[in-house]
Amino acid sequence: MTAGPPIDELHFEDAPNVDSVPGPKTRSLLEKQEEIDSNAVAYPGDIPIAFEDGKGATVRDADGNTYIDLFAGIGVLNVGHANPYVLEAVHEQADKFVHTVDFPTEARLELIEKLDEIAPDGLQGNQKVVFGGPTGSDAIEASIKLSKYNTGGDGLIAFRGAYHGATTGAMSVTGNKEFKGHYTPLLSDVVHAPYPHPFRQDKTPEAAVDHALAEVQAILEDPYGGLANPAGIIVEPIQGEGGIVTPPEGFLQGLRDLADDNDVTLVFDEIQSGLGRTGQWWASDWAGVAPDAMTSAKALGGTGFPLSATMYHEDLDTWGSGDHAGTYRGHVVGMRAGTRAIEYIQEHDLLAHARDLGEYIQDRLREAADDTDRLAEIRGKGLFIGAEFVDEDGKQDGDVVDEIQQYCFEHGVLVWTAGRHGNVLRFLPPLVLTHELAETALDVVVDAIEHATEEAKQTA
């Protein structure tokens, strides 16, 4: 196998094909889960589905219903479910050796080199990679520690609407107050600045950027700015959970300049937006701005293995041996899978594909927006797309998005939600989604929008 089959050979051929859902086996699994699993389980509350099988951009549930997957395990399965090129290496490695802490393996060194090959200009050839634990939150913790260790500071600037994870440091820089409210105090010196969101802030793109940067500058430079010992700025180049908020031009460069002027690190969280999702390797590549450190996870594990990494400029490589630790410093099978996934994206030119298909999806959504005033904004890059819905008064409407998600599910398409009020329909399909599958899926999504917005109008 060179780099596996072409993308049109990866999927279940019958997708979408759903009967009345959820079917009996699914219902029984959901009931059992409710009985024995944690109350913290969340996703089945949105879509009552139990997965059995996946292929490419399609999945099958326990009753044999087949769906087109437009959420990819929240941006994990960039090269699709059970990609054969990735799985070949997974099986080979799993039979040989799985866990090596941080002893060298070919798999480890190969992935570090691969990550350097696709690193943003400015990090490429000058970077180190630390694998400090399996989740995205672990990578965030590493980037916070790295910032503190290298600057001697302890304060962090993050952004409203941000999501960075569920561990203490990652929650500290996350914006969602309800999510972290029971666990305060968290890290003490964290300040959240506004993220430029022209649509919600009712500003021009330039004014939204100027406003956000002026706030960050004041926090760093105003003698009464409030943050005594800043160490770093941490930002999603496109906010994911916050609603696929895509900052206008100039924001990331402005942060780069402020970080340089004030000797603090600039950390880009590319956990959801990276590894080809936006039609570039990293969302920040669109702005041509390099961070001092960058976090990656989700799609890094190739086909769903838990693996995260923090890539950082070699000037920050000041830790001594063992200064950042963890038992799982890189899952060897996940590393093989990650390298294979990157190769698959390269060999099948999936960055260009993501850009083209993303434009097609945005066009279809814009056509749908012509017929309703409830679809207020469509934004994003590549296959990282958000559609923001509002009620008759222009306020965020999460109910209509829930209705769209449910209608899509019942018609064989899985989409997810995002946004501070759950009012953004979020598309993050596997990059291997074909044009044909996208067309079929968008027919369903457009019907769902029509159905849900009409229903909302009637009940208003």
Ligand X SMILES: Cc1ncc(COP(=O)(O)O)c(C=O)c1O
The position carrying tokens 């990866």 is 10
Q: Does 63 sit near ligand X (CB under 6 A)?
A: no
Q: Does 272 sit near ligand X (CB under 6 A)?
A: yes
Question: 165 vs 302, which CB is nearer to ligand X?
Answer: 165
Pick the binder of ligand X from 135, 151, 217, 396 (CB under 6 A): 135
Q: Does 241 sit near ligand X (CB under 6 A)?
A: yes
Size of the site for ligand X (CB under 6 A): 16
> Minimum distance between the CB of residue 300 and ligand X, rounded to whole angstroms?
10
- Pick out residues in 278-337 that bind ligand X (CB under 6 A): 297
The CA-atom distances, in angstroms, between 404 and each of 93, 411, 438, 444 are 41, 11, 17, 10
Lateral strand order in the sheet of 155-159: 127-130, 309-313, 293-296, 265-269, 230-235, 155-159, 190-193
By beta-carbon distance, which residue lies closest to ligand X?
A: 136
Q: Does 141 sit near ligand X (CB under 6 A)?
A: no
Q: Does 236 sit near ligand X (CB under 6 A)?
A: yes
Q: Is 204 exposed, middle or buried, given 0-12, 13-18 or 19+ CB atoms closer than 10 A?
A: exposed
Contact criterion met (CB below 8 Å) for 269 and 235 = yes
Q: Where are the alpha helices (DSSP H) in 191-266?
A: 198-201, 205-221, 251-261
Give strand pairing partners of 379: 386
Q: Does 172 sit near ligand X (CB under 6 A)?
A: no
Q: How far apart are CA 445 and CA 450, in angstroms?
A: 9
> Minimum distance between the CB of residue 310 and ligand X, rounded to whole angstroms?
12
Residues ≥6 apart with Cβ < 8 Å to 430: 56, 57, 69, 72, 77, 78, 79, 80, 81
The position carrying tokens 């989604």 is 433
Q: Does 217 sit near ligand X (CB under 6 A)?
A: no
Instruction: Print burial letters for 308-326: b (CB count within 10 Å at least 16), e (below 16).
Output: bbbbbbeebeebeeeebeb
Instruction: Print burial letters for 239-264: b (CB count within 10 Å at least 16), e (below 16).
Output: bbbbbbbbbbebbbebbbebbeebeb
> Minimum distance between the CB of residue 84 and ligand X, rounded to whole angstroms?
25
- Pick out residues in 71-130 that bind ligand X (CB under 6 A): 74
The tokens describing 110, both together, are 């190969």
> Minimum distance between the CB of residue 138 and ligand X, rounded to whole angstroms?
7
Q: How far apart are CA 232 and CA 263, in angstroms?
A: 9
Binding span for ligand X by CB under 6 A among 4-12, 265-273, 364-372, 389-397: 265-273
Question: 215 vs 269, which CB is nearer to ligand X?
Answer: 269
Q: Does 61 sit near ligand X (CB under 6 A)?
A: no
> Minimum distance between the CB of residue 199 and ligand X, rounded to whole angstroms?
20
Question: 59 vs 171, which CB is nearer to ligand X?
Answer: 171
Nearest to 403 by CA among 332, 453, 351: 453
Pick the binder of ligand X from 271, 293, 390, 413 (CB under 6 A): 271
Q: Does 237 sit near ligand X (CB under 6 A)?
A: no
> Minimum distance between the CB of residue 170 and ligand X, rounded to whole angstroms?
6
Q: Does 338 sit near ligand X (CB under 6 A)?
A: no
Question: 55 vs 324, which CB is nearer to ligand X?
Answer: 324
Q: Does 164 sit near ligand X (CB under 6 A)?
A: yes
Binding span for ligand X by CB under 6 A among 102-110, 124-132, 234-242, 451-459: 234-242
Torsions phi, psi of 332, nearest 5? Answer: -60, -40
Pick the binder of ligand X from 163, 286, 328, 389 (CB under 6 A): 163
Binding span for ligand X by CB under 6 A among 105-113, 114-122, 162-170, 329-337: 162-170
CB atoms within 10 A of CB 188: 9
Q: What letter would DSSP give residue 142?
A: H
Interface with ligand X (CB under 6 A): 74, 135-137, 140, 163-166, 236, 240-241, 269, 271-272, 297
